[in-house]
Structure 1
Amino acid sequence: MAETAKAPWLTIVGIGEDGWAGLSEPARQALSSAAHIIGPPRHLALLPPLTGAVEEWPVPFADGIPLLLRQRGHATVMLASGDPFWFGAGSSVTGALQADEWTALPSLSTFSLTAARLGWALQDTVCLGLHAAPLSRLRPHLTPGRKALILLRDGAAVCDLAAYLDVAGFGASTLHVMEALGGPRERLRASMASGFALDDIRHPVAVALVCAGAGEAMTTASGLDDGWFRSDGQLTKRPVRALTLSALAPRAGDLLWDIGAGSGSVAIEWLLSHPANRAVALEADPARAANARANAQSLGVDRLKVIEGRAPDTLPEGPAPHAVFIGGGLSHALLEALWPRLRPGTRLVANAVTLESEALLTHWRAAKGGALLRIELADAAPIGNRQGWKSRYPVVQWSVTV
């Protein structure tokens, strides 16, 4: 005889600014029968008197998870904003639970409400949650005509966003400031980023951005202009970087180790290729490591992890990578230490400029297979009152799949 599935003890209820009136009947029933209700003070204030014990979710958010788990086995409702699984708190909680311990009853997300007010197609709009994230995460999306919906912490963050856009050359952008959507306090106002002067902006707040201006837009192709990166000269230059990224072949969700990262340009472009990608940059020089961190922050991929250390004495810990790039510090000792740590299917790409490094790659290619590519580039340069070709140092690239 089949076992009867037990009912989940936790119900995650998404609540909007319209409070109890906007909840579905199953959500109302869950709240009415709950022995314990936990949520932010703003959400709890939207509810009528209920029979269950009420507890405020603390700040920081992580401190509330142990409080929630203490209720395990007792009918409990957790309140969250709108859709708890779209830039919400839902996944932060369910990661600590078994699949049969919880159920969720979402409401309309702020993104859905914003699109409904403005008539925007959500599938064509960038959606970002920047409550506790840097505004620079918006940078890859700043191109004239692009639309974005952005969740922000408070009114001060909206002013910061306007200033950020203005400094980046997109002061002509329109900001639709949308407060307390879906509730009695709802207010919609619009302003250009340049000269932004809206005040008394109340939480919760979202901004619908229509990007405009003469600021420089980032390309979506591999090979950003070298000028995007702060560097002391230790930089994989644009054409070679584009070929390197092509050989590394980033796929959604992949992890890269960038060894001898210099300014971090390869790891940064790896991260820009897909929002699910991860990267660890290893750099021995503290100043260059600082440049890599600054570049990642300014280009919207602050998730880059930068480790200061020299390979092979230092190699990243944690999960094995899907791809490895050796841009600096290439040696026989490094390859010997690295190779046993790579899983079958890992892509390894190493670039060499010196004759000694080129000989090393030739040796390893003979032993492990893969392909060698010689990259020879030349730039037009003055010769007297005319132009001629000035060759760059050739680069030899070894690419191999373990």
Structure 2
Amino acid sequence: MGDDAATVREAAQAGARTSAASPTRGVTVIGVDDRPPAAWAAERLAGATLVVGAARHLDALAVPARAARHVLGDVAAGIDAIRRHPGPAVVLASGDPGFFGIVRLLRERGVDAEVAPAVSSVASAFALAGHSWDDAVVVSAHGRDPRRAINACRALPKVAVLTAPGSGPAEIATALRGWPRRLVVAERIGAPDQRITECTPEQAASRAWADPNVVLTLAERPAPRGWAAPRRQGPERWALPEESFDHRDGMITKAEVRALALAHLGPGVGDLVWDLGCGSGSVAVECARFGAAALAVDRDGGQCDRARRNAAAHDVEVRVVHADAPACLAGLPDPDTVFVGGGGPDVVAEAAGRGARSVVVALAAVDRVPAARDALRARSYDVGGMTVTASRFADLPGGATRLAATNPVFLVWGHR
């Protein structure tokens, strides 16, 4: 079996070298870590007439003296230099360049390349920390708004973050205050001054960190085992029956209402959802099951306890805030989407003013609809709504079925 695997590997490498000898001027991307590149990749480097890479990579490898060097700062400029160059070119990149790396950008610019990957920084960080990572989610805050990456860290039990200056360990840690997390920061992986630090968000937020680095965020609860990496984030079923939740005297958003609310909220990985006047927390829990970070707010301490129990029962994380809305909302991170299950038009207005892409309001009385609609329209939302009524099957003696009506709920939504 080992020999067969080696034969397949050699054939794949030979095929890659054959395909590279095409009219694309022989571009090779070599991943760089603390080990020498593969023999065939070293041959490509020795024959290159242009080598593109970060200064540290150009200094670390044996770049031929006759080759032109292009220090990679502006990536677009580096790719343009490769496209203009008439001879064989090599690109040096950290770790696995096909994993959140330059290979995608090259292909988007019409440059086909053979790739010699090294060990990715994420794999190295987990190995150095002594953790498996098939159950982890990898997100990038490099060259992007870090909010979505941070929200993934708030929601999921094991996340690796590819960082950038200004979106590094301190900034991520500051945003994670209030969420129970341990951080592992892997600085300058593969360099002589490599360092691995495990700490709390509070500790990470108060110090400076060396670039480049990778941040691992770990929850107290274990990540679920799966058969695929990354594992499926969406639930197999949603709009769960009320019996799936601990609730008080029927004070819970009914399954039919939740189903429509979820359709308009559209929660997913990278989102932060507010559930205001959360009661049992059923909406927050359902959103968290889709992989969204969830904040549930209620002024009733007993309901807050129920929301925590329901989150634990469904193996998701919901941060529960025992406070009055709208007064407490100013201290919460900005939401992507908001469900208002309790509170007056002032709560709706405050939520709508925080820039969420959608706000959904559930009301028990029709005379409260105009104020909710006005609050959303005042913030330039496209507003809609409907009455949600349902008649559920109920058994009668002798195997017959009757319809049992639920109380109507008035659902108002606004979308940007």
Task: Classify the TM-score, shorter chain.
Answer: 0.5 to 0.7
TM-score (norm 2): 0.51
Deviation at 1:241, TM superposition (A): 6.2
Change (3 A) 1:48 1:219: closer
Change (3 A) 1:185 1:270: same
Distance in 1, Cα, partners of 2:291 & 2:143: 21
The alignment status of 1:104 with 2:115, answered yes or no, reads yes
1:135-174, aligned counterparts within 5 Å? 135-137=146-148, 138-143=150-155, 146-154=157-165, 157-166=168-177, 169-170=178-179, 172-174=180-182
Partner of 2:331: none
Tell whether the 8 Å contact from 1:180 to 1:202 is kept in structure 2 after alignment.
yes
Change (3 A) 1:291 1:54: farther
Partner of 1:82: 95
Distance in 2, Cα, partners of 1:44 & 1:160: 30
Partner of 1:316: none
Residue identity matched to 1:53:
A
Deviation at 1:36, TM superposition (A): 0.7
Distance in 2, Cα, partners of 1:179 & 1:67: 30
Deviation at 1:205, TM superposition (A): 0.5
Q: Match of 2:209, SS?
A: coil
Aligned-pair identity in percent equals 22
Partner of 1:55: 70
Distance in 2, Cα, partners of 1:62 & 1:296: 32
Distance in 1, Cα, partners of 2:353 & 2:183: 31
Partner of 1:33: 47
Deviation at 1:159, TM superposition (A): 0.9
CA offsets 1:356-394 (integer angstroms, 9 cap, x no match): xxxxxxxxxxxxxxxxx85479xxxxxxxxxxx994446
Partner of 2:184: 176
Distance in 2, Cα, partners of 1:41 & 1:241: 57
Deviation at 1:152, TM superposition (A): 1.0
RMSD: 4.6
Distance in 2, Cα, partners of 1:247 & 1:120: 36
Partner of 1:69: 83
Tell whether the 8 Å contact from 1:143 to 1:211 is kept in structure 2 after alignment.
no
Partner of 2:60: 46
Tell whether the 8 Å contact from 2:181 to 2:219 is kept in structure 1 after alignment.
yes
1:350-369, aligned counterparts within 5 Å? 352-353=386-387
Residue identity matched to 1:148:
V
Please, which runs of 5 or more residues in structure 1 have no aligned partner? 225-236, 253-265, 276-280, 282-286, 298-326, 331-350, 354-372, 378-388, 397-402
Residue identity matched to 1:43:
H
Q: Match of 1:182, SS?
A: coil
The alignment status of 1:130 with 2:145, answered yes or no, reads no
The alignment status of 1:10 with 2:27, answered yes or no, reads yes
Q: Match of 1:133, SS?
A: coil
Deviation at 1:212, TM superposition (A): 4.7
Change (3 A) 1:77 1:6: closer
CA offsets 1:327-355 (integer angstroms, 9 cap, x no match): 9667xxxxxxxxxxxxxxxxxxxx645xx
Partner of 2:197: 189
Please, which runs of 5 or more residues in structure 2 have no aligned partner? 1-17, 222-232, 241-252, 269-282, 293-336, 338-347, 359-380, 393-404
Q: Match of 1:294, SS?
A: coil
Change (3 A) 1:6 1:139: closer
Change (3 A) 1:119 1:391: same
Residue identity matched to 2:259:
L
Tell whether the 8 Å contact from 2:126 to 2:133 is kept in structure 1 after alignment.
yes
TM-score (norm 1): 0.53
Count of aligned positions: 262
Tell whether the 8 Å contact from 1:150 to 1:208 is kept in structure 2 after alignment.
yes
The alignment status of 1:243 with 2:259, answered yes or no, reads yes
Partner of 1:294: 355
Tell whether the 8 Å contact from 1:143 to 1:212 is kept in structure 2 after alignment.
no
Change (3 A) 1:115 1:375: same
Distance in 2, Cα, partners of 1:122 & 1:58: 30
Change (3 A) 1:200 1:194: closer
Change (3 A) 1:22 1:5: closer
Distance in 1, Cα, partners of 2:188 & 2:107: 27
Change (3 A) 1:390 1:242: closer
1:372-383, aligned counterparts within 5 Å? 374-375=389-390
Change (3 A) 1:93 1:142: same
Q: Match of 2:176, SS?
A: helix
1:166-315, aligned counterparts within 5 Å? 166=177, 169-170=178-179, 172-196=180-204, 199-212=207-220, 242-244=258-260, 273=290, 291=352, 294-295=355-356
Change (3 A) 1:189 1:47: same
Change (3 A) 1:62 1:392: farther
Residue identity matched to 1:39:
G
